[in-house]
Amino acid sequence: MVPDINLLPNIEKENASPTLLYAVLIAITAIVLASMIVIYFGAKSDITTLSKQELELTTQRNALQQEFDTKNNINAGSLAQSVKFVENVSYPVTPLINETLVFLPGNTFLRGYTFGEENVTVTIDFETMNAISSYIEKLGTSDYFRDIQVDTIENFKVALGEQTEDKKLEDKLKEIPRYSVTIKMFIDYAYLAKGGEG
C-alpha cells in the first residue's frame, strides 16, 4: 500500500474579507461620485442663477449711472448757467420791487416776481380790467422801466365754498370775474445805476 502524503500546505479559502473590502471601497467611491455629481449640478444651477442676477444688476447699474450722469450734467449746466446769470445780472432789485408795489391799486394780489437779464416779470391778480389799464398806465410813467408789455391776461373765478342751489345761482349772478395778469417790465439800467436819481 502506498501512503498518501501531501506535502503542499493546507490552504484555507479567505475570499470573504477581500470581497467585503472591495464592496465597501466601491460603495464609498459611488457615494463620493454621486455627491460630486450632485454638487456639480447644484453649482451649475447656482452659476446660471447668479449669472442672470449679475446681468440684471449690471443693467440696473448702467441705467442708474446713465440717470446720474444725466442729472449731474443738468445740474452742472444749471449751476454754470446760474453763475453766468448772477455775473451778468447784478442790479439792485429793491427799488424795482418798491416801484411795482407803489402803483398797485386796492384789492389786488401780487403773486410773484421773475428777474431776468433785461426785465422783471410780475404776476398780479386784479378785480377789473380798468384796474389793469390804470396800473399799466402808471407803470409807463416810471423812470425805472423803459418799456412795459402785457404778456397774458387770464380770467378766473373765485371759489365760494359749499352752497345750496339757490345761493349758487344768486352768487353766479353777482359774480365778477377776476383777472390774472403777467406783465414784463424792461429795466432802464442808466436810471437804476444812478440810484433812481435823475
pLDDT tens by residue, 37-85: 999 999 999 999 999 999 999 999 999 999 888 887 776 666 677 677 6
Q: Taking residues 88-105, what's their average pLDDT? A: 82
- Whole-model pTM: value is 0.50
Give, in order, the Cα–Cα distances in Å from 21 to each of 24, 79, 137: 5, 82, 116
Per this entry, what is the length of the chain?
Answer: 198
Which among 145, 175, 147 is positioned nearest to 160, based on CA atoms?
Answer: 175
Question: Who's near 146: CB < 8 A, 6+ residues apart?
Answer: 186, 187, 188
DSSP for residue 107: S
In sequence order, the β-bridge partners of residue 186 are 119, 147
- pLDDT tens digit sequence for 122-179: 999 988 888 888 999 998 888 888 889 888 888 876 655 555 565 555 565 556 678 8
Q: Report d(CA 198, CA 188) in Å as an integer.
A: 12
Q: Which helix (H) or strand (E) holds 170?
A: helix 165-174
- Residue 183's pLDDT is 92
**What's the grid cell of residue 117?**
437779464
Q: Report d(CA 117, CA 107) in Å as an integer.
A: 30
> pLDDT tier at 193 (50, 70, 90 boundaries)?
confident
DSSP for residue 64: H
Question: Who's near 95: CB < 8 A, 6+ residues apart?
Answer: 144, 192, 195, 196
**What's the grid cell of residue 73?**
450734467
